Structures are given as C-alpha cells and as structure tokens.
A and B are shown apart, each in its own frame.
Chain A
Amino acid sequence: MLAIETHGLTRKYASRNGRADILALDGVSMSMEEGEVRGLLGPNGAGKTTLVKILSTVLLPSAGWARVLGHDVATETQAVRPLIGIVFGGDKGLYTRLTARQNLEYWAALYQVPAAQTRARVEQLLARTGLAERADHFVQTFSRGMKQRLHLARGLIGDARILYLDEPTLGMDPMAARDFRQIVRDLRREGRTILITTHDMAEAEALCDRVALIDHGKVLAVETPARLSEYVAKFERIDFDGGDLDLIERLEQQPGVSAVKKAAPGSGHRIELSSETAQQNVLSLLVARGVTSIRTSRPSLEEVYVHLIGDRGLTV
C-alpha cells in the first residue's frame, strides 16, 4: 500500500481584496512508498506547506484527492489522524509553561493512548529524544534544539506511521541539527514514512531517499538527490589557481564553457560549464598550460534547485 498518494491535488485561496484567487497547489500528483523519506524543496509560497496541510487534514483541497495509507484525507479524517504526526520548526506548538513530561501526557490523552500505557510511552520518548533528564523542567527554559526534540516526541506520541516534518531544523545550531537528523534516520530505520519540507539542501541530501522540487504549486521533479545532481552535471564547475590572461581567453573560447570568472582577488578562477562533454577538454588544456591546482566540485542540490527554479531561489 502506498503511504501517500495524491492526484490532481489543487488548492485555491479566495482573495480578500477582490483580486484573482491564489492558486497554492496546481494539480499535484505524487506517491510515496511506505518507509520512504521524501524531501519537499521549494521557495516560500511554492506550495509545500499547503500540501502538508492537506495531507495532515488541516486543509481541504479545492480539487483532486489525497490518500494517506489508503484513507481519503478529506472524507476519512478520523481514520487518517491517528496515523500521522506533524512536527513544526520554530517555537510554536508547545505549551511552554508546562514541563516536557506534561506536554507529552497532554498529547497522549488527545491521541487516545490508554492511560495505563501513557507513562511508559512518555518515558520512552523522553529517553529517545534525549530529554529524560529535563523531563520535569518547564519548556520555556529549553534551548531551540531541545524544543525541537520535544516537538518530535510529541509527533510520535500516537505512534504515527507517517511523519510530516515542516522545516524541522529551522534555527537550530549545527550540532543540534545533526543530532536531530540522526533521530530522523533512526525513525526511518523503523519503517516510518517521513515527508520533510525544507529550504536546507544539505538536510535534504543527508536524509531523503527522494526529493520533490516544488514551485508555483507544481511539482517540477521528483528524483533521488544524486539524480537531481546529474541534471546539472553540465553546469559542473572547475576551479583552478594560476593561469594568465591568454589562458583565460582560450578557456572562454572552448566549446561547452559558459563563463570563466575570477572568484575573488588572489583566489583563482572558476570555470562554469554548460556541456557534460566540455570537462575533459578543459582539464586537458589546463594541464597542458602547466596549471597544477585544479578542483572540480560536485553540484549540490542547491544548484539543482536554483537551475530548475531560477533566480527566485532561496531568498523569496
């Protein structure tokens, strides 16, 4: 059975000032296998959160349908809700005046965990997320990373088979983000299905089996991180130190070279390629002209993202 399946999923928001309706999702069709970790990448306003809202039964679609483990999210909400957990980034979604334990006990009741099992479930989640020693401290005293781990524990209180992580490491320091990602990897090993919305390319590469690039409410591509990188192999870069003006001119005339740029004063040059076949010729020329400090670099998902979505990029 598919964990998540959507077909022609569309969501329009009525404009409040007489303008045209806003099309947040435009006929999205996608599917996710159980146990998959899928990234949703896209700029702000791309439709990522709208998709998560519909899949988590917070929002109704305007057209199309979505199923979670075979249940329609619009008409079978009571069947869908026990199967899912949602984890936000940021400070919202926790009762900061309660302790970590009280927060989890609260949500255990709402997720209908039997009272007799609640204590053990809460202890287990506190231990798993590394919060056991702070279990009885008020959440308002927690660091950003601790709050995020508590968010995750809350998302798991009902033993969700599908987790939606919405910008889960937003604002976390690198160490806390690394620890959080390790917990996500452990969850994946347990066979849970995880859908992550993120701006963080490194996070998507580190965690996801496949990544969906989304913009203007449409899914542009769904690929493995490695496959997406291949998309821009022709945009691969070669950095080198040294070289004179004549070499630069020769490089610029090579087929498949789109630009040769000076990265920064005294820091060498960067050659941007526009053809997969150009690399060998360029490297041969550099070596022939006595350049010995040469570096090629693997395109990151960020570059794929920018090339596919354009300059709207990450700052939108």
Chain B
Amino acid sequence: MSTRLHSSGWRELNALRVFRQGLVVGYRDFRDFWSLKSWLFGWMLRISTNAFAWVLLGRVVGSEARLEYLLVGNAIATGPAAALWASNATTWARYDGTHPLLVIAPSSLIPAVMGRTSIWLFNGLTTSAATFALFTLAFDYRPAGGGALWVPFVVLLVCASTYFFALFMGALLSNRSRWRNMALDIAGTSLLAFSGVSVPVSFWPAWVQAVVAVLPVSHGLHAARILLEGGPWHEAWRSLALELLVGAGWLAVGLFTMDRLFNGGRADGTIELT
C-alpha cells in the first residue's frame, strides 16, 4: 500500500505512536479503577495506612534510626507495590478479546502492551512520591545527607525495574490469567518482605539474599538509604548501577518472554479469536 513506509526510523516513530495509543487505553483502565477522590481516599489511604503502621511500630519499639529505616523503606516500597499491577494489566487484552487482533496487526504488539500497562508505573511513582511527602510531614523527617535530591531518581529506577519485572510476570500469566491475582499477591508480598523494606536483607538466609539480589527493589532501596543518610556516594552509585542492571535484565527477559509466548500461541493454538 502506498501509504506505508518501512524505514527503520519510521517504524520507531510508529512504535512510539502505538505506545501513546496504548497509554490512552491504560489511562481509561486506570480511570475505571480510580477517580481522583477514590484514588486519594481509597488507594492512598490504604497504602499509606499500611506503611504508617510499620513506621509507628518502629517508633514504639525502636530508636530514631529504626524509625527512619522503616519510614524510608515503606515510603519507597509503595511505588513498586503499585507498579507491580502492570502484571495484571498485561493479561487484560485476553479479556477484551483484543489479544488476537494485536497479534495479527502489522506492528509489534509490545509497544501497545507497554503503553497500556505503563500507567501503573506512573501510579507507582505518584504513590511513592505522595507517601514520602506525607511521611516527611507526619514524622518531621529531615534527611541528613545532601543526596536526598537524588531520591526521586532512585524511586523512578526502583519503580521502573519493578515494572519491567511485572511485564515478565504478565507475559508468563497471559495464558494462565486466572492466577494473576494470586501471582500479584505473592510477588508483592515477597518483594516487600525480603527486599529490605522493613527488615534488612542481611537478616535472611544466604539463598534468599541471592534471590533478592536479582529481583528489583533491594539495590535501589539500599542506594536511597545511603543517599538520605549522607553515606558514601560510591556505594550509593554501585547499588544504583546494580538496580539499573537488574531492571535492564528484567526488561530484556520480559520482552523476550512476551515475544515468545504471545507469538508462540500461533503454534499451540492458545490464541482464541473471541
């Protein structure tokens, strides 16, 4: 058809366009879940209350240092917890019946899926930022380190690496979508329990630490603590680099899995037309 161009630059531009269109679908998904009022007084209240409980527990049973540990961990962790919802959103095309149409469209379905699901990444960023602001005011928290300005970047990195992990989970769940809620709960709870949010990673057995090291959150969280406490920059950068590496790894694994499983349905007949 004369209207189609196939240069690589044009394809990249079109992928961005598909991503943007996917984002429109994701925004409508999000609005179906939350209005501004229900997001503030439903979602944020639930998330921040849960985190508050941990921080208050720290104040009751421990020192100021323990309070800060729990405050930083729980404020930042609300972001990844929200971003993990992208795993569920990855399966929604099956419910819409749009999955086969995406598979047979001339463009790759991956930008469309990423566009639709990335709204949960933005939700994670906003949730974490709002919780952090709330806690800072509520507990009169004053970071000691000058690296605090870098923390939004760390939050972005932690949420993004969790989002990429969620894409991988969503791809795995695309044919087993009835397990999606259970998988989300298990993954979310495990990340929060073992990644140094409320309990240091070093508390857990070595094999747990090894698993946590290749999962998102723990390295970024460690970097955030160092930056906020005014610790050595080189150690913070090392942890940030590890979080970046973990995120990039999960992005690669997620894209590969999506491509293989979504298109693999052509061979095993798991793509239904309706």
Which residues of A are in contact with B by a Cβ distance under 8 Å? 11, 13-14, 49, 52-53, 56-60, 78, 81-82, 84, 86, 88-98, 102, 105-107, 109-115, 117, 154, 158-159, 166
Could you tell me if B14 and A112 are in contact, using CB atoms closer than 8 angstroms? yes
Could you tell me if A82 and B4 are in contact, using CB atoms closer than 8 angstroms? yes
Within the complex, what minimum Cβ distance (angstroms) separates A69 from chain B?
12
Beyond A58-B273, A86-B101, A166-B273, whether A95 also contacts B3 by CB under 8 A is no
Could you tell me if B24 and A98 are in contact, using CB atoms closer than 8 angstroms? yes
Main secondary structure of the interface of B (DSSP, over half): helix
Beyond A82-B1, A92-B97, whether A98 also contacts B28 by CB under 8 A is yes
Chain B 7-23 interface 0/1 with A at a Cβ cutoff of 8 Å (1 = within): 00000001001101110
Task: Please report which residues of chain B, range 229-274, place their CB below 8 angstroms from some CB of chain A when the two chains form the complex.
Answer: 265-269, 271, 273-274
Could you tell me if A97 and B105 are in contact, using CB atoms closer than 8 angstroms? no
- Which residues on the B side are within 8 Å of A60 (C-beta)? 266-267
Other A-B pairs, 17, CB within 8 Å; known A49-B273, A115-B17: A13-B269, A59-B266, A60-B267, A86-B104, A88-B97, A89-B274, A91-B97, A92-B98, A94-B96, A97-B28, A102-B24, A109-B14, A109-B18, A110-B21, A110-B109, A114-B3, A114-B4
Could you tell me if B104 and A58 are in contact, using CB atoms closer than 8 angstroms? yes
Within the complex, what minimum Cβ distance (angstroms) separates A92 from chain B?
2
Beyond A97-B29, A113-B3, A159-B1, whether A81 also contacts B96 by CB under 8 A is no
- Which residues on the B side are within 8 Å of A52 (C-beta)? 273
Contact of A53 among B25, B112, B273 (CB under 8 A): B273
Interface residues on B, range: 35 or more
Could you tell me if A110 and B29 are in contact, using CB atoms closer than 8 angstroms? no
In the bound complex, CA of A96 to CA of B95 (Å): 12
In the bound complex, CA of A52 to CA of B271 (Å): 12
Q: Could you list 24 A-B pairs, sorted by A, with CB under 8 Å?
A: A11-B269, A13-B269, A53-B269, A53-B271, A57-B103, A57-B266, A58-B100, A58-B104, A60-B266, A60-B267, A78-B106, A82-B106, A86-B100, A86-B273, A90-B274, A92-B97, A109-B14, A109-B18, A109-B107, A110-B18, A110-B21, A110-B112, A111-B107, A158-B106
| A-B pair number, CB within 8 angstroms | 112
In the bound complex, CA of A14 to CA of B106 (Å): 29
Contact of A110 among B32, B100, B105, B271 (CB under 8 A): B105
B5 within 8 A of A: yes
